[in-house]
Amino acid sequence: EAQVTQNPRYLITVTGKKLTVTCSQNMNHEYMSWYRQDPGLGLRQIYYSMNVEVTDKGDVPEGYKVSRKEKRNFPLILESPSPNQTSLYFCASSLGTSGRRSYEQYFGPGTRLTVT
């Protein structure tokens, strides 16, 4: 089954304790990205990757890191989490993003993170 998986689904942590949220897709997609969703603000892009070893900042990258060492995986790293990073996080992937024929985005189930 074609899917995007994220782990963990729920996480409660304390300020300053490094954490990683994993994201994996089995569709051989080139493009992957991370979003956070906050009430009233919709989804905002954190980072994206156009292919292996190619990553760039989205709209709200502060406090986050990513890496893309393999095509299927795109982990999100919070080196020193803070309470304002409490949010619902989504990973997404698509076949590609170039040209006018944009490819459909596939989303993971979400990771609810609480930082106390």
- What is the secondary structure of 70-88 as a DSSP string? SSSB--EEESS--GGG-EE
Nearer to other proteins among residue 10 and residue 116 (C-beta): 10
Q: Minimum distance from CB of 43 to other proteins (Å)?
A: 4
Nearer to other proteins among residue 51 and residue 82 (C-beta): 51
Per the structure block, which two tokens stand in for 112? Answer: 């609810």
Q: Angle 24-30-33 (CA atoms, 0-180°, nearest 5)?
A: 60
What residues make contact with other proteins under the rule CB under 8 A?
4, 31, 35, 40-45, 48, 50, 56, 90, 92, 97-98, 100-102, 104-110
